[in-house]
Amino acid sequence: MKQKPNWLAITGPVEIADAVITYVGKESKYSEMAKTAKGSKAAAEDTPPATESLIRSDAYFESGDIVGEFRLSSADLLLRFRLGSSGDSRTTVGINAAGKTYGLGALARGQGKTISTAGEGTEPPVNEWGKFRIRVRGSHLEFFINDIRVVDGNVSIQRAQLEVLFGGVGKVELRNFYIESIRPVAFVVMQFSAEYTALYKDVIAPVCEEFGYQVIRGDNVYTNGLIIDDITRSIRDCSIVIADITPNNANVYYEIGFAHGIGKQTILLSDRNREKLPFDISGFRLLFYDNTIGGKAAVEEALRKHLDAIRGA
């Protein structure tokens, strides 16, 4: 679904018109600090430039494409897109970000981390219209300039209003800006047997669909390629993994390990009668359930709470 967002200026000098968004930055006491910061190892948020402007849209974004055109009057100007902003956490990608010409970084609970950078010794296009595209599929983000991928990496993006941060001395213009959102995917990992299929159809799928997820189970993704490639690609492209770890199933454990390795949001389910869990689960949300008629309502409610926390609703 294509959406042309509406914008509101939150801070700084910016003009918002129907066709073009224009930022004009002027000199300030921070100018020299900003020039120095460009070559540093700063993470997603560098030293403040001459002036800054932040605009926020009415479009909530989690997965899909953000597309538009930009024009800079100077190579030192900042153009950063902020996704998943919630308190002191967000993902930032753009031009003159993360200390390099092109950068992708994350701020999590106030701690900054650089994920990917490019453009050492180069400059972004200046005084001409260029194209940008931000492509998010699950936890994988790619940033393109003029159809050339410049940075990419694994991120965790909650559904939130899209923001754009401008900075520096000079003019930045944006036009033909639109968002094409897609439904986030919940990828379900479990043993393929009648008992667990009932849990999937009666509880997991309906609750996930309430939260807007497209629900896919592992046995529905196989193509003509290698099965392991299909599974790892599906985990990488999904927004959340839900796994039942009740039986000792090596395939399930492998897929959970892969999800954990790339920082995927994961919810584990287990029958309460299981005697012992076989591995360290301290980093996961764990939901125990009773395999009874009365237990169905309890696990539905618990799963809703977990999804509500993840979606930031």
CATH number at residue 289: 3.40.50.450
For 73-159, where are the E strands, in sequence order? 78-86, 89-97, 100-108, 111-118, 130-137, 140-145, 148-154
- What is residue 265's predicted lDDT score, i.e. its pLDDT? 85
Chain centroid to CA 245: 26
Question: Which of these three, 143, 166, 181, is where a domain ends?
Answer: 181
Query: What is this structure's pTM?
Result: 0.78
pLDDT score recorded for residue 41: 45
Would you state the pLDDT for residue 26? 84
Q: Which of 246, 60, 230 is nearest to 162 (CA)?
A: 60
> Is residue 201 domain-shared with residue 96, that is, in the same domain?
no
Closest CA to 84 of 107, 68, 102: 107
Shared domain for 76 and 13, answered yes or no, is yes
Domain limits at 234? 185-311
Is 44 found in the same domain as 128? yes
Is residue 183 classed exposed, middle or buried when 0-12, 13-18 and 19+ CB atoms within 10 A define those classes?
middle
The pLDDT of residue 68: 97
Pinpoint the alpha helices (H) of 166-211.
194-199, 205-210
- Tokens matching residue 113: 């981390």
Q: Look at the block and give the residue holding tokens 């308190």.
A: 87
Residue 247: the pLDDT is 85
Residues 164 and 19 in one domain: yes
Kindly state whether residues 27 and 166 are assigned to the same domain.
Answer: yes
Considering the domain architecture, whether residues 161 and 21 belong to the same structural domain is answered as yes
Residues of the chain with pLDDT under 70: 28-50, 220-226, 275-283, 293-294, 311-313
Q: Are residues 176 and 119 in the same domain?
A: yes
Whole-number pLDDT of residue 296: 80
Q: Do 86 and 121 contact (CB within 8 A), yes or no?
A: no
CATH code where residue 15 lies: 2.60.120.560
Contacts of 79 (CB under 8 A, 6+ apart): 70, 72, 94, 95, 96, 164, 165, 166, 172, 174
Claim to verify: residue 190 and residue 176 sit in the same structural domain: no
Q: How many domains does the chain divide into?
A: 2
Considering 154, 181, 208, which residue would you say is the last residue of a domain? 181
Residues 274 and 206 reside in one and the same domain: yes
Which residues are CB-contacts of 5 (< 8 A; sequence separation ≥ 6)? 57, 58, 59, 162, 177, 178, 179
Collapsed DSSP state (helix, strand, coil) of residue 9: strand
Question: Of 181, 202, 230, at which residue does a domain stop?
Answer: 181
Question: Do 153 and 205 have their domain in common?
Answer: no
Strand order of the sheet with strand 100-108? 7-11, 52-61, 160-167, 78-86, 89-97, 100-108, 111-118
Q: What is the DSSP letter of 220?
A: G
In this structure, are 143 and 241 located in the same domain? no
The reply to whether 141 and 202 lie within a common domain is no
107, 120, 223 from 9: Cα distances, Å: 22, 32, 47
